[in-house]
Copies of this chain bind each other. A is one copy, B any other.
């Protein structure tokens, strides 16, 4: 029962679940309703078709899929075949995707009708990675529907120490890093969630977050491990979400603040049904007025703090503490631990703000091809999140701010360093500062200030177009100011706060 890695071998989750509760509802996606037996059959078929491409255990399969049936099945097909899934963000620019595809060494990129052009763009100058589509789209490009089912051996067991997923996360260095997530990371994440929020055979968890982020992906693992249904929406539509809660038996829901805000706006003051037992609210500290509105409407919000590097939830406020600990992200999920360390490297006292550190089986073993970044992030088993927060007297976590330089816009993380690098690549730009400023709809929006090279001329509009070529839309600064001088302190250090103040007087 022990694998080569020293971790125990365990029955593959969907394979097991399809035998344990074959007839139970598993997935609603792409207009279809699948039982666990049907979902397992879909996953097996997809695994055998991927095998027909020559994909073998350990190979990396990149996907560029909007939410839908294929995006919900492929994580299980990957488990059955022993591949490593690299779910790419469909909002990235072709050059960003090309970089990630090259970094992970993917041999195949799976695209859908809606992402075909983007995939083509990403693969244009990339040797060694080929295109496969979900359905027949172009002659000469294989499609899953048409591929034969190879007689590949499918796995009945998984090794908790093996990597299942590589999820790219941007970083302060300007280049995204591929966080490795093992079967064990996903297993413990699902277990910790069930031990906190509970799980029932009759539960139905609505997925309106992208399945290429851990916030969405992790719901699929919870579904097969605990044995309840996942309802996948193709995109976030507040009216459709409200409708699913009212009429389709949704009991759990994962959202970020801006989504919740829009749901409430679309609905007015009409109460939600009591069948909705938990709204898991992630993506950064929630505005207090929003939490108070939810409390007033009786909406059971469980605020959570999670990271790509921890396969989603680190800490989540248990439903019954929603009012007593309003604004807290709760306590760490079993059996993980959270510490706060001050700037001086000392253990913070209760109430004292410092960096949030996480330890436990949800923590990534590291970043692909980044031994130094891994060593810097995970020391003695403790993940340094870079985020700021404190623990109260009872050990409840309050996240004060994501790491100082991080911008969270509509639930997507934007690292200023990456946007600054794109601006600096323009020959006319001498210096660039990117910051996030408060935005009523998206939480924060990205803005930039640049100083030009002496004698150069370029308009803000031209720089905007330049960025659009190189960056995902949500990373492109909504406003770019061209200034004569950037604010610095006496020692010459750039004052980001002062830049932010240009948009946010009084901050």
- The interface of chain A, by Cβ under 8 A from chain B, is 1, 10-11, 16, 19-24, 191, 194-203, 225-228, 318-321, 324, 331, 334-335, 361, 381, 394-395
Contacts and interface: CB of A to CB of B under 8 A. Distances in A.
Contact of A335 (B16, B197, B321): B16
Nearest to A23: B320
A196 B20 contact: yes
Given A24-B318, A331-B20, A334-B16, A227 B394 contact: no
B10 A318 contact: no
A319 B200 CA distance: 11
A334 B198 contact: no
A195 B395 contact: no
A203 B277 CA distance: 14
A20 B318 contact: yes
A417 B457 CA distance: 100
Contacts of A381: 1
Contacts of A20: 196, 318, 331, 334
Nearest to A381: B1
A226 to B, nearest CB: 6
Contacts of A19: 331, 394-395
A361 to B, nearest CB: 8
A24 B198 contact: no
A335 B196 contact: no
A280 to B, nearest CB: 14
A331 B227 CA distance: 14
Contacts of A195: 225-227
Contacts of A394: 19, 22
Given A11-B334, A20-B318, A318-B21, A200 B201 contact: no
B199 A194 contact: yes
A384 B331 CA distance: 42
Contacts of A335: 10-11, 16
A318 to B, nearest CB: 5
Nearest to A196: B20
Contacts of A21: 196, 318, 320-321
Contacts of A23: 320-321, 324
A321 to B, nearest CB: 8
22 contacts: A16-B335, A20-B196, A20-B318, A20-B331, A21-B196, A21-B318, A21-B320, A21-B321, A23-B320, A24-B320, A191-B191, A194-B194, A194-B199, A195-B225, A196-B227, A198-B200, A198-B201, A198-B203, A198-B226, A198-B228, A200-B200, A201-B320
Contact of A227 (B198, B201, B203, B395): B198
